[in-house]
Amino acid sequence: MRVTVIFDDSTVYVDGVARHVVLPPHDTNLRAIQWNGQHGDVEVRVGAGFSFRDFGLLDVFIKAWERAAPQPVAAPGQPATGVEEM
């Protein structure tokens, strides 16, 4: 799995699929996080970035990406999921 987080755009890419997400509170010095499937790199605005190997650090961003998934559209004449007809 490849993951990219772009903080300025509030966008998370998972295997090339981009979704705008609500990012958790984070350090404003963060610019981007990239995970290539085996290790990741953190890009910062000021100072030196760093690498990491703990995929778990991306959990919060992947969950935000999952929550931002497009909702299914109801077929014509059918109520949308979770909507009661009146």
For residue 81, pLDDT over 60 is answered with: no
The answer to whether residue 7 is domain-embedded is yes
In this prediction, residues 57-75 reach a mean pLDDT of 87
The answer to whether residue 28 is domain-embedded is yes
Q: Measuring CA to CA, which residue among 65, 73, 72, 71 is closest to residue 18?
A: 65
Task: Give residue-wise pLDDT tens across range 11-38.
Answer: 999 999 999 999 999 999 999 999 999 9
Backbone angles phi, psi at 78, to 5 degrees: -115, 145
DSSP, collapsed to helix, strand or coil, labels residue 47 as coil
The answer to whether residue 76 is domain-embedded is no
The answer to whether residue 12 is domain-embedded is yes
pLDDT band at 74 (very low <50, low <70, confident <90, very high): low
Q: What's the confidence (pLDDT) of residue 86?
A: 45
> Structural domain tally of the chain?
1
pLDDT band at 70 (very low <50, low <70, confident <90, very high): confident
The answer to whether residue 16 is domain-embedded is yes
